[in-house]
Amino acid sequence: MTQTLTPDQAWERMKEGNERFVAGAPRHPHQDVERRHELAAAQRPIAALFGCSDSRLAAEIIFDMGLGDLFVVRNAGQVTGESIMGTLEYAVDVLEVPLIVVLGHDECGAVRAAIDSLQSDAPLLAPAIWRQVSPIVPAARRVRQEQLDAGEGDEPNAWRVGQLHLRDTITAILHSSEMISDAVASGKLGIVGANYRLAEGAAVPDVKLGLAENPAGE
């Protein structure tokens, strides 16, 4: 519990847990009374996870982890904002996690709402929903333009929008936190952006920053 993992070791643990989940052979670690007692005084999670709130990607289940393993913050469409940044900075600065995983997924309702908002007859969204979804709209617009330029119609491919939004999200995290970008630059922190595939259960990495296998700058 006092271990300090490197960014690569932390990602390796996440990958192994996800592979067990995909294979239908989870161990459900760290969910017993002993673990609960062991953690009562302090936590030392191996990673922070910032993902979509979607009920189908419960963090500890899909990475086959348990109590004290992941410091989790989720909202619809994993959209950054002050409380997200405060939570991630806390994880890095105070809890000293060596890894942040940003997790998007296919069939995301927030991505779908951003795409639908491009239609002239788009239904009105309640104000707070619109504020949540609007940071995804630039990715939807870019994909629509790419497809128009390629003669592929004007209905943006949702998977591609989700991928660009995930990349935008990681860029926004780095731009809005000097502490986090410094931690990546110094090798203390890795960031992995992954797309979770609902049917297979696999978290497929798309962006890796600050990992030895793929150093900062990619």
Give the distance, in angstroms, between the CA of residue 132 and the centroid of all CA atoms in the same chain. Answer: 16
Q: How far is the CB of 109 from Zn ion (least distance, A)?
A: 6
48, 52, 113, 203: which one contacts Zn ion (CB under 5 A)? 52
Q: How far is the CB of 75 from Zn ion (least distance, A)?
A: 9
What string marks each residue from 76 to 115 as x (binds Zn ion by CB under 5 A) or -?
A: --------------------------------x-------
| Tokens describing residue 62 | 């899909």
What's the CA gap between 150 and 157, in Å, rounded?
13
Tell me the pairing of strands 47-52 and 99-105.
Answer: parallel
Three-state DSSP class for 31? coil
**CB nearer Zn ion, residue 27 or residue 56:** 56
Please choose, out of 32-40, 44-52, 80-88, 177-185, the segment that lies near Zn ion by the rule CB under 5 A. 44-52
Site for Zn ion in 155-174 (CB under 5 A): none
Outline where DSSP puts E strands in 130-213: 190-197, 202-209
Regarding 69 and contact with Zn ion (CB under 5 A), the answer is no
24 phi-psi bin (left φ>0, alpha ψ -120 to 50, beta other): left
Three-state DSSP class for 176? helix
Regarding 54 and contact with Zn ion (CB under 5 A), the answer is yes
Q: How far is the CB of 106 from Zn ion (least distance, A)?
A: 9
Q: Where on the chain is the footprint of Zn ion (CB under 5 A)?
A: 52, 54, 108
